Amino acid sequence: MTTWTSKAAIAALLMGLSACDALTVPEPDAAPVALSQAKMAFGAVTLVPPRGYCIDKRSLRQNFAMMARCDRLGVPSKAGDAPIGIITASFTTSRGSLPSPLDTAAALNLAAVTDTVETDDGVTFRAKGPAPAEGLSDTHWRGTSAIGSQIMGLALYGEEDGRATGRDGRQILSSIMVASKSDS
């Protein structure tokens, strides 16, 4: 198990995570374009969504991407039985170690940090904070992972008492961390 405690990393990660808490919804008239992966952080990382989710091309920035179930992005054959949810990923240059879940929660005004697990691939935990859209639970999963020179911050929002906010959430974020590290 790895322990992360750098204050510099917290500041760097929070700059990237601010995008997670202020989602910009793409124009409703724009046709969704689902991607199975995307080069992020000026090519430093290949973001790979979990099974059943696709990256919404309209949301892409060099340091931010939003993912949803593939059927919500026009590719019903790829959704499978994935839980309904919205995932955000943000990237920032690593300036040291990953922040702890409590440091992340304090900086983002999150409450009720639970289910914390630290592995070699990253950190995942559940917390309560404002939902980015109506119909999504304020309880959500968060994750951070070091990938090469970048720190990836993840947030997974789902329906109240849904699979994404419950039993499946940690595995969804962990699969992004493992696949993105492997492909980067």
Strand partners for 92: 151
Residue 96: what pLDDT? 82
Q: What is the pLDDT of residues 21-50, one digit of tens each?
A: 444 444 555 566 899 999 999 999 999 999
Q: What percent of the chain has pLDDT over 90?
A: 71
Over residues 103-119, the pLDDT tens digits come to 999 989 999 999 999 98
Topology of domain 7-23+44-183, per CATH? Protein Transport Mog1p; Chain A (3.40.1000)
How many Å apart are CA 67 and CA 88, to the nearest integer? 6
Query: Cα-flanking dihedrals φ and ψ of residue 129, to 5°?
Result: -170, 170
